[in-house]
Amino acid sequence: MKAHTKETQATMTPSKSLDFLKEGNQRFQNNLKANRNLLEQVNDTSEGQFPFATILSCIDSRVSAELVFDQGLGDIFSIRIAGNFVNEDILGSMEFGCKLAGTKLIVVLGHTSCGAIKGACDHARLGNLTALINKIEPAVDAVKEPKDESLRNSKNLEFVDNVSAENVLLTIANIRAQSPVLAEMENNGEVMIVGAMYDISTGSVEFYN
């Protein structure tokens, strides 16, 4: 499989880009990697890059977007931060990826049993981590069940995963609210912004409608 070129990138639509990621994750789950020569792709991309998707995911060592979607060099922009939330710098990176570099899809990828989400559920406080946790805690408040405070912590993995899902949705809402550039591109059909959840126990990615 060759690296994307300007010509192949131009053929990608938001929905086609989404299909590419879904197919890649299916290959990953089945341990059937696409046949690609990475060293050849190094040469192919040495004078330019033409990725089709921008993926915001967690720093978790088990959730490498290139691996779980079976993509090669030059295929995706991968933005990683604990808790997969957005700030001004990440939004700027997304705007570069979509408006200037031509990606057609933004994926906000959460995952099950997320350590950053667990920290938010426990309202952890530690150095610079405190400011990061504060950005995720609105997702904790958005999950209304269970009401029993003794069950609203990292020991309740169902609650943790529900907060992870809510965090993805809040992040998407923040992208639309805080980036007029991306909101306009989405409204014009130039890009699609979708949420997804990676299951660390199965390797599967569930995309949200």
In 30-152, which residue ranges form alpha helices assigned H by DSSP? 38-44, 65-68, 88-95, 115-121, 129-142
In single-letter form, the type of residue at position 55 comes to: I
121 has binding-site annotation: no
Q: How far apart are CA 109 and CA 43, in angstroms?
A: 29
89 is in an annotated binding site: no
Q: Which residues of 147-186 are buried (b: 16+ CB within 10 A; e: fewer)?
A: eeeeebebebeebbbbbbbbbbebbbebbeeebeebeebb
Is 86 strand, coil or helix? coil
Answer yes or no: is 114 a known binding residue.
Answer: yes
58 appears as a binding residue in the annotation: yes
Binding-site residues for Zn(2+), please? Answer: 58, 60, 111, 114
Binding-site residues, please? Answer: 58, 60, 111, 114
